[in-house]
Amino acid sequence: MKKLLFAAMGLLFVVSATAQTEEELKAQIAPKKDSIKAIQKRVDALQSQLDALPGWKIGAFGTIGGSISQFNNWFAQGIPNNSSGNIGFTVNAYANLKEEKFFWRNAANLNLSWVKLDDKDDPNDDDSFRQATDVFNITSLYGRKLSEKFAVSTLAEYRTTILSNFNDPGYLDLGVGATWTPISDLVVVIHPLNYNFVFSSEDTIFESSMGAKIVADYTKQIGNINFKSNLSMFQSYKSSNLSNWTWTNSFSYTLWKMIGVGFDFGLRNNKQETLNYIVNNAPTPNPDATFDTIDNELQTYWTLGLSYKF
């Protein structure tokens, strides 16, 4: 009985000591977290000072996503024997020059992906990887400062696809106007004098025109987080059918060294591209379709996968 009593007292002592040690450790963690936050604030403040210095700032980050799968006799689905896969990547790069009286900002965005579905029971199906996402965009903005936040500027922006139908269509915007930089990470471009050159073999649908160009770009790095959002709009003075806009977003979070997780998504509205698809490329083309008869659906894409910070 005494042995049992001593054992119970010993166990109670051990549990009590462990609980006390746990509480002490938790109490020590709290001020260290506060210290980490304070250090991060100082690091962010120093980074802001570095970003404000004149000279070139060059960088890039991207996302890679992919998967493969294989099914054998999986009769619950329509294709019980198949192998499939997809792979895609996004790269965002920039090279910005900031001086006392002028700036020159350059950026490029590339988003490509491929998909594959091989039906093992159909010897005639296409078992190769096929292009799924194809986005290429490059911009160059030069501004002469009127003040710290306003500048007269000129912009060149080119966008197309590169895996198939390169420059068919291709869009080149050239214009002049003003640029507003309310904060170091946000650039807003308003160019009322802009010409939208459209290059295409389908000249009955695609047409160049004069219009207004608006671009808003926000690029930010906070610790392990990289974020970029870009909205590019063209409003044609000739017809709303020739107007278009594209909004792309890239997010990456570094987990270990240069590797992390990334997410990209984009939206686009372009009535000329929609009509061209319905007339020439749809599974059942409609050569009699016009701008007035089509449903101009919103174009979207997204990619989720591993990211790598260059």
> What is the domain-level CATH number for residue 172?
2.40.230
| Structure-block tokens of residue 227 | 């974020």
pLDDT confidence band for 67 (50 / 70 / 90)? confident
> Are residue 144 and residue 246 in the same domain, yes or no?
yes
Last residue of one domain, picked from the residues 9, 33, 53: 53
Q: Are residues 41 and 60 in the same domain?
A: no
Q: What is the structure's pLDDT at 307?
A: 73
Both 140 and 175 in a single domain?
Answer: yes
Identify whether residues 226 and 107 lie together within a single domain.
yes
Report CA Rg, the chain: 28
| Residues β-bridged to residue 214 | 190, 233
Domain that holds residue 182: 56-309
Q: Are residues 86 and 150 in the same domain?
A: yes
Domain closes at, from 37, 53, 69: 53
Domain boundary among 9, 38, 53: 53
pTM, 2 dp? 0.76
Q: Band of the pLDDT at 25, cuts 50, 70, 90?
A: low
pLDDT exceeds 70 at position 41: no
Q: Are residues 44 and 149 in the same domain?
A: no
Same-domain status, 70 and 142: yes
In this prediction, residue 15 carries a pLDDT of 46
Q: Which region among 40-54, 59-73, 81-95, 291-305 has the lowest average model confidence (pLDDT)?
A: 40-54
Distance from first CA to last CA of the chain, Å, rounded?
69
pLDDT above 70 covers a percentage of the chain that reads 82
Q: Which is higher by pLDDT, 195 or 21?
A: 195
- Give me the number of domains the chain comprises: 2
pLDDT of the residue at 147: 94
Per residue in 170-207, pLDDT (tens digit) is 999 999 999 999 988 899 999 999 999 999 988 889 99
84 and 35 within one domain: no
Based on the fold, state whether residues 6 and 109 are members of the same structural domain: no
